[in-house]
Amino acid sequence: MRGRERAPALPETAIGLGALAFAGLVLWQAWEIPVSPLYAKIGPSVFPYATAGGLAVLALLLVAQAARGGWQAAEEREVALDRRALAFVVAGLLANVALIGWLGFTAASTVMFVLVARGFGSRTPLRDGAIGSAVALVAYFGFAKALGVNIGAGLVERLLGG
């Protein structure tokens, strides 16, 4: 790795440690798999253990790379995260999960559409709402019906005969 003088990179260290924690989770879950003696030869837990081991080794290598200055491209490191945009998109996703069960697909999707469009800098929520509900209806009646996908119908869909 070039630049041995570079200071350890914090974000990459976090990624490496996160991968290590994940390897731990996989190991714990592999431990939980009951193995019947019938299949003692190559049981269902052999590959899970191998995966946990592989992930642990790779996570340690990531931590080591982070300690030597990290790997993130300079351009990527310098772009400041647009937290506001992210927050709006995440809010849209959460609203979708929360609403889809009782309001139905179209209504939930419209709310998500407006929030996500706002996150991407749109300043016309009413127009976005109109476009969003049109997209959702086309998606519902065109795409989902054509594919034979059954998606929970809400009030709007039932009114329109979905």
Partner 1 sequence: METLSQLANGFAIALTPAHLLWCLVGTTLGTAIGVLPGLGPALTIALLLPITFKVEPTAAFILFAGIYYGAMYGGSTTSILLNTPGESATIVTALEGNRMARSGRAGAALATSAIGSFVAGTIGTIGITFLAPVVVSFALKFGPAEYFSLMVMAFATVSAVLGSSAVRGLTSLFFGFYLGMIGVDLQTGQARFTLGIPELLDGVNVIVVAVGLFAVGETLYVAARRHAGKDEIVPLRGSLYMTREEWSRSWKPWLRGAALGFPIGALPAGGAEIPTFLSYWIEKRLSKKPEEFGTVGAIEGVAGPEAANNASAAGVLVPMLTLGLPTSATAAIMLSAFQSYGINPGPLLLQNQPALVWGLIASLYIANIMLLVLNLPMVGIWVRVLKIPAPLLYAGILVFATIGTYGISNSPVDLILLYLLGAVGFLMRRFDFPTAPVIIGMILGPLAEQNFRQAMTISDGDWTVFFRQPLSATLLALAVVGLVGPRLYALYAARRLRDAAQPGEA
Report the site for partner 1 in 99-138 (rule: CB under 8 A).
Answer: 100-101, 105, 108-109, 112-114, 116-122, 128, 131-132, 135-136
Q: Name the DSSP class of 39.
A: G
Closest CB to partner 1 among 79 and 161? 79
Site for partner 1 in 24-83 (CB under 8 A): 26, 29-30, 33-36, 39, 41-45, 47-48, 51, 54-55, 58-59, 61-62, 65, 71-73, 76, 79-83
| Tally of residues, the chain | 162
Considering Cα of 99, then 102, then 104, then 110, what sign does the dihedral take? negative
Distance CA 109, CA 126 (A): 14
| Minimum CB–partner distance for residue 159 and partner 1 (Å) | 19
Residue from 68, 91, 139, 162 in contact with partner 1 (CB under 8 A): 139
Amino acid at 143: F
Which of 96, 103, 154, 157 contacts partner 1 by CB under 8 A?
A: 96
Shortest distance, position 31 Cβ to partner 1, whole Å: 11
CB of 19 to partner 1, least distance (A): 6
Cβ neighbours for 114, distance < 8 A, ≥ 6 positions apart: 92, 125, 128, 129, 132
DSSP state, 41? S
